[in-house]
Amino acid sequence: MWWNRAVRTDDPSPAHQAHGCVFATTHWSVVLAAGDRTSPQATEALEKLCRTYWYPLYAYVRRRGYGHDDAQDLTQAFLFQLLQRRSFARADRSRGRLRSFLLGGLYYFLADEHERANAGKRGGRQPVLSFDALAAHERYGLEPVDQRSPDRLFERQWALTVLDRVLARLEGEFREAGKADLFQRLREFLVAGTADETYADAAAGLGMSRDAVKKAVHRLRRRYHELFCEEIAQTVADPAEVEDELRHLCAVMAG
C-alpha cells in the first residue's frame, strides 16, 4: 500500500529538512492560537478541518453502537459545538494534535448524550457542515468486518482520510500539468516492490526510457512524502510533531 512510503524519516527533500519553516502556520495552530476569542481566520480553519475529518468521527459514533440517523445527528451536534467555540479553547498546546483532541472531545460528548436525547437538542437537525450523510452510511456499510475498538477504528479512518487527501492532491498536480495518464501509470510504484509491472513495462507503455521512468517514480515518491508531511502538519500545533504523527499513523495502518 502507498502509506508505506511515509515510514521514511530520512527524506532529503527541502520540504522535509525545513518543514519547521514551511509549516510555520497551519490550520490547527491557527485555531489553537485564537483560543475562544472571535477570529474569522480560526473559524475558517476549523471549518475546513471539520469538513475534512468528519467521517472518522461518524465512524467512531457508529462503532459505539449508534444507528445511522443518531450517528449523523451526534456528529453534527459535536461539530456544531466546536464551531460555536465552546470546546477547542481547552486544547492543550503541549499535546496539540487535532486527532487526539477530537477523539477525546467526542468521547465526553457521547458520555453526555442522554442530555441531548432528542434531535432538537442536537442542533434541531440543522446541518452545520455539508457532508453527504447517505454516502457516509453506504461507506460505513462497506467497511470490512473487524474487531477494532471504536478508538482504533477512528484512528484507522483518520489515517485513511489523510492518505486519500494526499493522493488526491498528488493526482491533481499531475492533472494540472497535463500528466494525468503518467500518474495513473506510475502510482503503483509509490511503494517499492509492490508494483505489478516493471519499470521496463511502464516505459514501453508510456513511450519513455526505463531511466526516465525510474527518475519520474523517484520524483513522484518524493512529492508524495512532501504532501504527506504537509497534510499532517495541518493537524498538529507544533511542526516538530509532524514526524511523530506520521510514524503513529503508519503504525495504525500496519496494525
pLDDT of residue 5: 39
pLDDT of residue 20: 39
pLDDT of residue 6: 39
By C-alpha distance, which of 230, 235, 203 is closest to 216? Answer: 203
pLDDT of residue 83: 80
pLDDT of residue 194: 73
pLDDT of residue 146: 65
Running DSSP on this structure, what letter comes out for residue 145? P
Q: Are the C-beta atoms of residues 49 and 131 closer than 8 Å to each other?
A: no
pLDDT along the chain (255 residues), means of 10: 41 40 65 71 85 92 90 89 71 73 91 65 53 67 72 93 95 96 92 81 94 96 94 88 92 86
- Is residue 139 helix, strand or coil? helix
DSSP character string of 72-85: HHHHHHHHHHHHTT
By C-alpha distance, which of 140, 120, 124 is closest to 132? Answer: 140
pLDDT of residue 249: 92
Dist CA 232 CA 216 (whole Å): 24
Question: How many of the other CB atoms lie within 10 Å of CB of 56?
Answer: 24
- Give the position of cell 509532524: 242
pLDDT of residue 95: 56
Alpha-carbon distances of 119 from 41, 75, 134, rounded to whole Å: 30, 12, 18
Running DSSP on this structure, what letter comes out for residue 57? H
Alpha-carbon distances of 150 from 14, 57, 65, 128, 204, rounded to whole Å: 38, 10, 9, 24, 47
Running DSSP on this structure, what letter comes out for residue 246? H
Sequence-separated (6 or more) residues with CB below 8 Å from residue 236? 26, 28, 29, 96, 97, 98, 242, 245
Dist CA 17 CA 10 (whole Å): 9
pLDDT of residue 141: 67
pLDDT of residue 10: 40
HSE (CB half, 13 Å, CA atoms) of 235?
25
Dist CA 141 CA 135 (whole Å): 10
Dist CA 203 CA 207 (whole Å): 6
